[in-house]
């Protein structure tokens, strides 16, 4: 953890009220969220995951995007429904991450989710290629719409199916940058 002052995060009235009686203590000064940001993130992700798996009807534009990347709606739906969702900050497994300039950097899963991330800012999510193991930033989902959360799940599902950010960006005509939010934004536009 860094010694940086706690960011000021606007908290909706009553957002954490129901957790207080069970909290057993109040933590101050060490992070943006006095409750458990991972619990709320996991809940939002599970809601989005369930929607994609059971209810989502992919639009033609959405299916065309999947086809351009090299996969299909049924494969993405299956992968999204199979993702195992983990707190990214608590996993110290070593990983090698591709950067937009074509180089790679050795780091750990947890380091990706800190301010010292080689990405220049904490990652939102990291999913191993050809895997269902998906790691997420605690707090994500608290201030994002459900469709943003769902679009990020679709984005991570493409990684789980083996596609790199560069491959997805190239297939969808998106410029490669340090962050890959543009992929999520595009999927959100096309699919929701």
Binding site for Zn ion (CB under 5 A): 165, 180
Least separation in angstroms between residue 84's CB and Zn ion is 17
Backbone angles phi, psi at 97, to 5 degrees: -115, 130
For 89, which DSSP code? G
Strand 94-98 and strand 125-127: the pairing is unpaired
* Shorter beta-carbon distance to Zn ion: residue 157 or 180: 180
* Shorter beta-carbon distance to Zn ion: residue 148 or 180: 180
Q: Are 150 and 51 in contact (CB under 8 A)?
A: yes
Give, in order, the Cα–Cα distances in Å from 20 to each of 15, 26, 27, 116. 10, 9, 11, 31
Q: Are 122 and 139 in contact (CB under 8 A)?
A: no
* Shorter beta-carbon distance to Zn ion: residue 150 or 165: 165
* Shorter beta-carbon distance to Zn ion: residue 33 or 165: 165
Least separation in angstroms between residue 20's CB and Zn ion is 36
Least separation in angstroms between residue 180's CB and Zn ion is 4
SS (H, E, C) 46-83: HHHHHHHHHCCCCCHHHHHHHHHHCCCHHHHHHHHHHC
Distance of CA 74 to the CA centre of its chain: 21
* Shorter beta-carbon distance to Zn ion: residue 143 or 178: 178
């Amino acid at each position: 953890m860094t010694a940086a002052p706690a960011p000021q995060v606007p908290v909706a009235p009553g957002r954490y009220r129901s957790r207080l009686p069970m909290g057993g203590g109040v933590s101050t000064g060490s992070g943006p969220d006095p409750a458990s940001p991972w619990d709320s993130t996991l809940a939002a992700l599970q809601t989005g995951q369930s929607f994609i798996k059971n209810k989502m009807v992919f639009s033609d534009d959405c299916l065309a995007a999947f086809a351009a990347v090299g996969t299909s709606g049924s494969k993405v739906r299956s992968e999204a429904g199979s993702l195992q969702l983990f707190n990214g900050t608590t996993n110290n497994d070593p990983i090698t991450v591709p950067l937009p300039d074509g180089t790679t950097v050795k780091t750990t899963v947890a380091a990706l989710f800190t301010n010292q991330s080689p990405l220049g800012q904490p990652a939102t999510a990291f999913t191993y290629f050809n895997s269902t193991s998906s790691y997420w930033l605690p707090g994500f989902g608290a201030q994002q719409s459900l469709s943003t959360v769902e679009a990020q799940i679709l984005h991570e599902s493409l990684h789980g199916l083996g596609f790199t950010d560069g491959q997805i960006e190239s297939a969808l005509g998106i410029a490669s940058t340090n962050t890959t939010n543009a992929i999520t934004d595009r999927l959100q536009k096309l699919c929701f």
